[in-house]
Amino acid sequence: MKELRGISVSPGIVVGKAFLYVDERPQIPHYPIATLQIDWEVARFKRARDRAVSEVESLKSQTVDNMGSDGKRFLDVHLLMLADPEFGAQVEGKIRQEPTNAEWAMYEVVGAMVEQLETSEDQYLRERAIDIHDVARRILNHLLEREKVSLADLSEEVVLVTHNLLPSDTLLMNKHMVRAIAMDGGAKTSHTAILARSFEIPAVLGLSDITRNVRSGEEIIVDGNAGTVIVDPDARTRDRYLRLSREWRKRWAHLLALNKLPAETRDGKLIRLKANIEVPEETEAALAHGADGIGLYRSEFLFLKPGDFPSEQAQYEAYSRVIDAMKGAPVTIRTLDLGGDKILPDLPLHGEKNPILGWRAVRFCLSEVDLFKVQLRALLRSSTHGDLRIMFPMISGVEELDRVLGVLEQAKEELRRKGIGFNEEMPVGIMIEIPSAALTADILARRVDFFSIGTNDLIQYTIAVDRGNERIAYLYEPFHPGVLRLIKIIIEHAHAASIPVSMCGEMAGDPLATVILLGLGLDTFSMSATRIPEVKEIIRAVTMSEAVAMVDSIMEMNSYADVDRHVQEWMNGRFNLSPRA
Binding site for ligand PEP (CB under 6 A): 296, 298, 337, 433, 454-457, 504-505
365 catalytically annotated:
no
* Options 78, 133, 142, 191, the catalytic residue: 191
Rounded Cα distance between 394 and 430, Å, is 8
Q: How many CB atoms lie within 10 A of CB 520?
A: 22
Q: Which is nearer to ligand PEP, 427 or 454 (CB)?
A: 454
Q: Which is nearer to ligand PEP, 182 or 504 (CB)?
A: 504
Using CB under 5 A as the binding rule, whether residue 200 contacts Mg ion is answered as: no
Burial per residue of 379-405, b for 16 or more beta-carbon CB atoms within 10 angstroms, e otherwise? bbbbbebbbbbbbbbbbbeeebbeebe
Please choose, out of 291-299, 432-440, 533-541, 567-575, the segment that lies near Mg ion by the rule CB under 5 A: 432-440
Q: How many CB atoms lie within 10 A of CB 466?
A: 14
Rounded Cα distance between 143 and 30, Å, is 13
Element (H, E) at 534: helix 532-541
Q: Which is nearer to ligand PEP, 100 or 276 (CB)?
A: 276
Q: How many CB atoms lie within 10 A of CB 124?
A: 17
Q: Which is nearer to ligand PEP, 191 or 360 (CB)?
A: 360
Rounded Cα distance between 368 and 405, Å, is 15
Q: Which does 504 bind (CB under 5 to 8 A by kind): ligand PEP, Mg ion, none?
A: ligand PEP
Residues 6+ apart with CB under 8 A from 58: none
Using CB under 5 A as the binding rule, whether residue 454 contacts Mg ion is answered as: yes
Minimum CB separation of residue 355 from Mg ion in Å reads 13
Minimum CB separation of residue 119 from ligand PEP in Å reads 27
Which residue from 481, 459, 457 is spatially nearest to 334, judged by alpha carbons?
Answer: 457
Q: How many CB atoms lie within 10 A of CB 446?
A: 10
Helices and strands, number each (H, E), in the chain: 21, 16
Give the neighbor-by-neighbor strand order of the sheet with 2-5.
2-5, 228-231, 219-223, 13-21, 158-162, 178-183, 203-205, 7-10
Minimum CB separation of residue 32 from ligand PEP in Å reads 55
Rounded Cα distance between 187 and 205, Å, is 6
Minimum CB separation of residue 426 from ligand PEP in Å reads 21
504 catalytically annotated:
yes
Q: Which does 455 bind (CB under 5 to 8 A by kind): ligand PEP, Mg ion, none?
A: ligand PEP
Using CB under 5 A as the binding rule, whether residue 457 contacts Mg ion is answered as: yes
Using CB under 5 A as the binding rule, whether residue 300 contacts Mg ion is answered as: no
CA angle 174–175–177, rounded 5-degree value: 75
Q: Which does 131 bind (CB under 5 to 8 A by kind): ligand PEP, Mg ion, none?
A: none
Rounded Cα distance between 248 and 448, Å, is 42
Q: Which is nearer to ligand PEP, 127 or 337 (CB)?
A: 337
Using CA atoms, how far residue 68 sits from 195, 201, 285, in Å, is: 10, 14, 11
Q: Which is nearer to ligand PEP, 109 or 513 (CB)?
A: 513
Rounded Cα distance between 352 and 359, Å, is 8
Q: Which does 298 bind (CB under 5 to 8 A by kind): Mg ion, ligand PEP, none?
A: ligand PEP
DSSP string, 187-254: -TTSHHHHHHHHHT--EEE--SSGGGT--TT-EEEEETTTTEEEES--HHHHHHHHHHHHHHHHHHHH
Minimum CB separation of residue 378 from ligand PEP in Å reads 20
Q: Which is nearer to Mg ion, 458 or 520 (CB)?
A: 458
- Residue pair 543/267 in contact (Cβ under 8 Å)? The answer is yes
Would you give the DSSP letter of residue 145? T
Minimum CB separation of residue 525 from Mg ion in Å reads 16
> Residue 547: is it exposed, middle or buried by C-beta count within 10 angstroms (0-12/13-18/19+)?
buried
- Residue pair 384/393 in contact (Cβ under 8 Å)? The answer is no
* Options 78, 289, 385, 504, the catalytic residue: 504
Number of residues that bind Mg ion (CB under 5 A): 3
| Nearest residue to Mg ion, scored by beta-carbon proximity | 457
Q: Which is nearer to ligand PEP, 248 or 392 (CB)?
A: 392
Q: Which is nearer to ligand PEP, 298 or 531 (CB)?
A: 298
Using CB under 5 A as the binding rule, whether residue 339 contacts Mg ion is answered as: no
Using CA atoms, how far residue 41 sits from 33, 34, 37, 63, 141, in Å, is: 8, 10, 6, 33, 16
- Enumerate the active-site residues: 191, 504
Site for Mg ion, rule CB under 5 A: 433, 454, 457
